[in-house]
Amino acid sequence: MSKVLFIVGSLRQGSFKHQLAEEAEKVLAGRAEVSYLDWSQVPVFSQDLEQSTPAAVTKVREEVLAADAIWIFSPVYNFSIPGSVKNLLDWLSRALDLSDTRGVSAINEKIVTVSSVANAGQDQLFAIFNDLLPFIRTTVVGEFTQSRVNDSAWADGQFIASQETLSSLAAQADALLTAIN
Ligand SMILES: Cc1cc2nc3c(=O)[nH]c(=O)nc-3n(C[C@H](O)[C@H](O)[C@H](O)COP(=O)(O)O)c2cc1C
């Protein structure tokens, strides 16, 4: 079965992106093996740290290398990619063999798609991902799902995916699986 690695770009307990990812996981049930990347220990990037790769970076690289595709659930921070998510992608974009800085990275040629939940700035977020992901030599697939935070979620923490969101996730999942197979 295909392996799809979920990257939830928020480390917040109860994250709405994590709840969206759980909806996507249901859509993929029985059709792909889903795992969630734990990137919480990845340090702020520095070329000094690259000389002996931090263990947390080696671990995320291994998980990315083992995946057939990656599904990113990204917050919008100030109409842009959160710095933490960009930091992770920067690490993943670096060559595995530092003697050839243009050589293959862990994320090289991976099939990638993106979804979000936010109330403003998703078009800008997706435009940035659409520039960034091909630049780091990934293959972008699917129509990115964008969804709003339901008003009650701010009070009770429960993200409720609309029917439109669920349909969009289903179409995105189909596109992802088609691209893998
Ligand atoms: C630094 C920062 C910037 C934010 N900028 C935006 C924004 O541009 N658009 C938006 O809809 N929400 C913005 N938010 C609100 C987040 O979307 C909201 O906190 C969301 O719940 C975070 O995702 P999570 O629930 O997955 O943790 C921002 C939050 C933070 C902390």
Ligand 1 site, CB within 6 A: 10, 12, 15-17, 75-79, 118-121
| Count of other CB atoms within 10 angstroms of residue 154 | 10
Ligand 1 centroid distance, CA of 40 (Å): 18
Q: What is the pLDDT of residue 101?
A: 84
Dist. CA 75 → ligand 1 center (Å): 6
Q: Which of 14, 64, 55 is nearest to 35 (CA)?
A: 64
Residue pair 76/118 in contact (Cβ under 8 Å)? The answer is yes
Per-10-residue mean pLDDT, the chain, length 181:
97 97 97 98 96 96 98 98 98 94 94 97 98 97 96 95 97 97 84
Distance separating alpha carbons of residues 142 and 92, to the nearest angstrom:
21
Residue nearest to ligand 1 atom 2, measured at CA: 77
In testing the pocket of ligand 1, which one of 19, 74, 77, 148 has its CB within 8 Å of the most ligand atoms?
A: 77
Contact by Cβ (8 Å): 95, 102:
yes
Both tokens of 123, joined, read 């078009």
**Which helix (H) or strand (E) segment is 85 a member of?**
helix 83-93
Q: Tell me which residue has its CA closest to atom 31 in ligand 1.
A: 77
Q: Find tokens 């991902």 and name the residue.
A: 129
Residue type, 83: G
| 8, 78, 81, 117, best to mutate for ligand 1 pocket (most atoms within 8 Å of CB) | 78
Residue 157 CB coordination number (10 Å): 12
Ligand 1 closest atom vs CA 149: 21
Q: With the C-alpha atoms ordered 62, 64, 69, 71, is the resulting torsion angle positive or negative?
A: positive
